[in-house]
Amino acid sequence: MPHAARIAAKDAYPMLLNIHYAGRIPSISHAFGLFRNGKMEGVCTFGTPSSAPLRRGLCGPDWQGNILELNRLCLLDNKKNDASFLVAASLKQLPKPSVVVSFADTEQEHKGIVYQACNFVYTGLSAKRTDWKIKGKEHLHGQTVADEFRGCENRAEKMREKYGGDFYLAQRPRKHRYVYFVGSHRDKRLMLSALRYKREGYPK
């Protein structure tokens, strides 16, 4: 039988870099591994969402310090029920109370089936946004591109100076947004009542 246990963030790096389609390390505050016969076969990581508007707007300012994003779920073989087992076991080990948000990437044809299996609340698609892109480096995440001039004023202007016509904006694929509440029954009721996104039926 598999079991899930807390791991050091760095122990998740090889799987996140070599197997997960994003190919980069997100902010990680909590990391968990799926183990079978002493071998780690999956990882699930949580961190503070990079979007300040999301942190403030998900459940309002009173809960913004409790927001975590389930930002990576990666399995070696994706055996039946392993994903939902790992997510459910990881959620139980998070600090209480926590508001957990996660996204299913429509560009990867993901609908968030694992989140549905774990009884997350579905709150529709993410807002329409644009990403920074560089011709020939389309595999890079828009945030990775923007980070090149992190902390500088007029970052877009500096990008254009360096890359010229190879720098452009592209429509970001929208993502399915899911939310889960970790805490006592009272905390869950309070967090759900504070949720600022409309609850919708699961996408099929």
φ, ψ for residue 133, nearest 5 deg: -135, 155
The per-residue pLDDT for 93 is 97
Give CA–CA dist 141/99, Å, rounded: 25
pLDDT band at residue 101, thresholds of 50, 70 and 90?
A: very high
pLDDT band at residue 155, thresholds of 50, 70 and 90?
A: confident
* pLDDT at 143 > cutoff 80: no
* pLDDT at 132 > cutoff 90: no
Domain boundaries, the chain: 3-126+174-194, 128-173
DSSP 8-class letter at 173: P
Cα of 88 vs its chain's centroid, Å = 15
Token pair recorded at residue 137: 């480096």
pLDDT band at residue 54, thresholds of 50, 70 and 90?
A: very high
Give the CATH number of domain 3-126+174-194: 3.40.630.30
User: In b/e form, how buried is each residue of 123-143, taking b as 16+ CB within 10 angstroms?
Assistant: bebbeeeebbbeeeeeebeee
The 10s digit of each residue's pLDDT in 169-202 is: 887 788 999 999 999 999 999 999 999 999 999 9
* pLDDT at 140 > cutoff 80: no
Q: Where are the beta strands (DSSP E) in the chain?
A: 3-7, 30-36, 39-47, 67-75, 98-105, 121-125, 129-134, 167-172, 175-182
User: In b/e form, how buried is each residue of 79-111, taking b as 16+ CB within 10 angstroms?
Assistant: eeebbbbbbbbbbeebeebbbbbbbbbbeeebb
pTM: 0.83
The per-residue pLDDT for 60 is 96
The per-residue pLDDT for 130 is 82
Give CA–CA dist 138/41, Å, rounded: 29
The per-residue pLDDT for 17 is 93
Give CA–CA dist 32/159, Å, rounded: 37
pLDDT band at residue 148, thresholds of 50, 70 and 90?
A: confident
φ, ψ for residue 102, nearest 5 deg: -145, 160
